[in-house]
Copies of this chain bind each other. A is one copy, B any other.
Amino acid sequence: MMVRFDPGEERIAVTRNFRVWEGGGEYNVARGLRRCFGQRTTLVTAVADNPVGRLLEDLMLQGGVDLSHLKWVEYDGIGRASRNGIYFLERGFGNRGAMGMMDRGHTPVSQMKPGDIDWDAIFNTEGVRWFHTGGVYCALSPSTAEVAKEAMASAKRHGVVVSFDCNYRPSLWKASGGRAAACRLNRELAQYVDVLFGHEGDLLDTCAAASGPPWYDSESYEAMSKRIQESFPAIKVIATTIRRPRTANRNDWGAFGFAEGNVFESVKFDDLEIFDRVGGGDSFAAGLIYGLMEHKGLKWALDCGVAHGALAMTTPGDSSMATLGEVERLMGGGSAAVQR
């Protein structure tokens, strides 16, 4: 969980005003599930108790996510021991891509250690049905990868569905082994994963310095998925967004999914107009998880994720401002005519 500073139409390096939003891969999923899909969600994280932490609380209250598992950590008044993460992200325009800068060293969440959270209590007594985490959290520090593993194992023990978004970010792994280290970790965690957001390049032991996700068709996606499932039989569902940025303002957008030996391709949006692309993938995850939780089938879930992601990219901020009705209308090919 971080505060996002957004310079709107200007750029980070020359603006004088920032709009703030909250963001964070796992949080965005929880918020989407709560605000668009009406599911109760909670967040397990730690926040330094200072005005920025209280701003995060204010933003997350607005997001509707339950905060009873937020751990407030004392602030040292200067930001040496532990501080709240922030990031700056401008949305790009045309040939100038979106650009972001993380400032998330020394956060309380990166200092979490196994044993800090009583996961069994959470999964056992609070009626949790789904647990979602991912590669961003795991990359914060060696101990967060341990915490993630501990949580996933506990969830698994209690029959809670586990989803994991590989979400490789070069800046996070730069100092600790890069993509190869990320893949190594992902392979280790794969035994606990039911639903994987990612692709072969996130798991391969010979994981090359591939820049960006590969581009699939149904056939190649099926082959890839089967290779994954062979090596990691615990994984029941694989889902991968396909995004091709023509410009910052226009992307091709869709997804593939694999379950029970079958490949599904979602509704596709060619030349999708983009307002702020950040959070599109997290909104996809939220929509897909909703579909699976509601037992709608993977094709429906993929469409729901892709439509939710598409709508999330029509508004500023990391999260979606869409309603379930709007998602369903877009899944059904609804036009952009005015409603009044």
Contact = CB atoms under 8 A, between A and B. Distances in A.
Most B-side CB within 10 Å, residue of A102, A269, A278: A102
Contacts of A52: 12, 88, 101, 103
Given A80-B105, A104-B79, A273-B249, A339 B9 contact: no
A227 to B, nearest CB: 26
Contacts of A84: 103
Contacts of A223: none
Given A20-B18, A63-B61, A95 B311 contact: yes
A89 B340 contact: yes
A172 interface: yes
Best-buried of A63, A316, A337 by chain B (most CB within 10 Å): A337
Interface in A166-199: 169-172, 174-175
A322 B75 CA distance: 19
A100 B340 contact: yes
Nearest to A19: B17
Contact of A10 (B269, B321, B334): B321
A4 to B, nearest CB: 11
A114 interface: no
A335 interface: yes
A337 B97 contact: yes
Contacts of A311: 95-96
A132 interface: no
A76 interface: yes
A14 interface: yes
B62 A61 contact: yes
Interface string A46-60: 000011101101100
A336 interface: yes
Interface string A305-340: 000001101111000011100100010001111111
A21 B206 CA distance: 48
A212 interface: yes
Interface stretch (A149-157, A240-248, A286-294, A295-303): A240-248
Contact of A98 (B76, B170, B172, B338): B338
B78 A104 contact: yes
A245 B100 CA distance: 31
Contacts of A269: 95
A62 B63 CA distance: 8
A93 interface: yes
Given A54-B323, A83-B105, A99-B338, 12 more contacts: A14-B58, A18-B20, A94-B273, A94-B313, A95-B311, A96-B326, A96-B330, A98-B340, A171-B340, A247-B336, A249-B273, A250-B273
